[in-house]
Structures are given as structure tokens and as C-alpha cells.
Copies of this chain bind each other. A is one copy, B any other.
Amino acid sequence: MKTGTQIQENIKTNISEIINLFLKVRKQTNDICHPLLIEDYTIQPIIDVSPPKWHLAHTTWFFENFVLIPSKKNYRAFNPGYNYLFNSYYESVGERILRANRGYLSRPTIEDIYNYRMYVNENLLDFLNSNGLITTKILKIIELGINHEQQHQELLLMDIKYILGTNPLFPAFLNSENTNEHPPEKPIENYLDMAEGIYEIGYSGNEFSYDNEKEKHKVYLNSFRYLDRLITNQEYLEFIEAKGYEDFSFWLQEGWEWIKLNNITSPLYWHYSQKQWHYYTLRGLKPLGYHDPVTHVSYYEADAFAKWKNKRLLTEFEWEVVAKELYKVIPENANFLEEGHYAPVPRKNYSTQLFGDVWEWTSSAYLPYPGFKIAQGALGEYNGKFMINQMILRGGSCATPKNHIRFSYRNFFHPDKRWQFSGIRLAENLK
């Protein structure tokens, strides 16, 4: 059993680590936004997409509201009106602006928001460096705030892509990379096997994880096989050309109604013009990259594609078992946010492709694991209350911070959403 002094020592070490992480992640958020022009920060073209300045402020509000206001002595809120503006969905923290109205705020200005970020950073450092009593509970909230900000880093890239990619002028966010785009070629289909049996699922270590990854528990899986890579744009284009969007037999009923209502005939950001397929990436509008993993597809499209191929998607349990079988740790060279591609890339040398690039739709609904417990208070609103009508995605994407992902990490979206970097892996039963 630890003594009080030992615990204090541990906390001091932790404080030092957490300050480093906090500063790094806060800076990373600003760096992501660096290429934006002032005009880009404010608009909200669809309800799902928040204005970049909202993300910058909301992640800051999280630290102010859950750490500084309750715990830092004599802390004065930067602007008391910001709680109304930058609370996202925490019912327990009071009234907030309607989500659909986030794009109607020209003020506070971008400059105000960056000042807000600095003010909160300085106060948080001041607080952590003070001799005041920093409890483990407070450190855990800050750790959650850092992870929360990493999630918003991915959301920032998704939302920036939507804001610029649906503008009729198709402005580029970044300068072009040199790409040596190759012509279509026959894709290689290599399936790997997994044996029937009992497997363990979920997080059980001591590092940070979300509540929805627990408790660790056993599942029974039938044998199956899975493709060792992601589906490419070329393969998805074959589905389009085979009139897959016109044959209801491949579609879930609600998916069929969704494509008809919204006149959907290709992934988001694809445009057919001058007899050629193009796609918008954060580097501008380009001819379609045939060997890139397909992305910006909804669950409905992923599922329909799989049915057209006479295959299926993996469950989230199968995916986690596969990941743990293939890797001891998450591979260093996977295409995460830090790589700076901000787009999925073709796999190299026929290597196995699993983490990074695109989130893989699984056929599992977002539901609690056995023994799931909701945290107390506002932080308990983080995950559990969304466990309905959403599907699980696994593996992280080119917009996910590298140290944010885990084997047990569960992402989730409604089946019609596709502005996230989502993609497809096929699987089938082994007889």
C-alpha cells in the first residue's frame, strides 16, 4: 500500500508529464488551423460541421469549465458569455446555443478566440505549477480534456475539408504533394484466416482510455477470413459502374431511401466532370487516385458494397481480435495525422494495412459492453448517452493523432454520416 508521500510523488511526476502533453496537444491544434484564412473559421455549412473557431473555443471551454472554474482559486472566466456559446451538449452545465446556430456567430472574432486559448493555457499552467493540492481526480479530468481536444483535432480536419470541399471554387487547404498517380490495375485479394473460439475484448490497462472501452470481457467468435487491406477507389468505382447505386437488393431499406432522397451516386467529394472522375482532397480538386483507399462513404454504402461483393464487414470484435493478432503495438509508420498527408494513401509493397488511413466501418452497433459504467456528473455525458442508432468504426484515420488511438478504441457515427474519413474492409465466414 502506498503512503501519502508516495502518492504525492506520483502526482508530481504525473503533473510534469501532463503539462508536456497539454502544451504539445494545444499547440498541435493551433498548428492544424494555421493555413486557414479568417473567413474559413466561422461558417457551418451543415449541422454536423462546426465552425473551426468553435472547436478552438469549445476545447478551451472544456478546461476552463471542468478544471479552472471549479478548482482554481480566484479564477475569473475569460468571458462569462462563452459558457452559453461553447458548451457542446452537456445538459448538466446549463443552457447552450443550438448546435444548428454555431455558424451564425461572427463574434467573438478569431483573435478573441486565440486570446481565450492563451488565457486558459496560462491559467492552467499556473494552476498546475502552483503549490495547491492537485488531486488525481483533477489530473484525470485534464487527461480527458487532452484526449477530448485530440478528438476535435480530427473533427477540425473533417470540418475544414467539408467547408472548403463543398465550396464551388474548391480552394486547397494545403499545397499539393507530388503524387505519382498510377493507372488502374487489377487489385490483389489476399484474405487471412482467424480461428473460432473465445477472445477477450476491451481495455484493461492503466493508461488513459474511454469508459466505453470497458469492461474487458469474453466473446465467442466463429472462424472468419478478412482482406489484408482496405478497399480502393478503383474497386469502389467498379461498384458504381456496375450500377450498384441503382439496385435496391444491395441496400438496407433506410440506406436506399437515403440515397434516393439525397440523390447520392458516389462517395462524398467525388465529382464527374469532363469525362473523368475527380475527388476533392485537402490539397484541392484532383483526378481520382485509383489506388487510394476509398473514403467518405456512409455505413449504408460500405454495407451495400460488401453485399455486392458477396462479402460482409467485420464486427468490431473481429476487428479487435485481428488487430491484436497482427500487432503487438500500433505500427509506427501508420498513416495518422502526424504524417501530414491528411488523406489516405495507397499501401506500399503489399504490406498489411490496418491502423490509420481510414476508420473502418464495422457491422456492430454502438452499445455498452458488459459491466459498462457511466461516470458521475457532466463527464458522464461523454459517451454513454450516444449508445443508440450509431455504428462502430475502428482503427483510426489519417486525421487521428497517433497517440490517441488504441486497439480497443471505439469510434461511432450514424449510418448516414460520411464526412469523416471512413472506409471499407471486407470479410467472410470460414466454413
Which residues of chain A have a CB within 8 Å of any CB of chain B? Answer: 37-45, 81, 84-85, 89, 91-92, 97, 101, 103-110, 163-164, 166-169, 171, 198, 217-220, 222, 248-249, 251-256, 299-300, 363-365, 367-368, 370-371, 380, 385-389, 415, 429
Contact = CB atoms under 8 A, between A and B. Distances in A.
9 contacts: A38-B39, A39-B110, A45-B101, A217-B220, A252-B385, A252-B388, A253-B388, A254-B388, A389-B389
A6 B252 CA distance: 41
A254 B390 CA distance: 11
A256 B167 contact: no
A104 B222 contact: no
Contacts of A217: 220, 222
Given A39-B41, A218-B222, 17 more contacts: A39-B107, A39-B110, A43-B43, A43-B105, A89-B253, A97-B168, A103-B103, A105-B168, A107-B164, A219-B219, A249-B380, A252-B385, A252-B386, A255-B388, A370-B429, A388-B415, A389-B415
A194 to B, nearest CB: 13
Contact of A164 (B44, B106, B253): B106
Given A166-B104, A415-B389, A429 B252 contact: no
- Copies of this chain present in the complex amount to 4
A84 B170 CA distance: 14
In this complex, the member of A163, A222, A365 whose beta carbon has the largest number of chain B beta carbons within 10 angstroms is: A365
A106 B370 contact: no
A81 to B, nearest CB: 6
Nearest to A223: B370
Contacts of A44: 104
Contacts of A103: 43, 103
Contact of A389 (B45, B249, B254, B371): B254
Contacts of A388: 252-255, 299-300, 415
B385 A167 contact: no
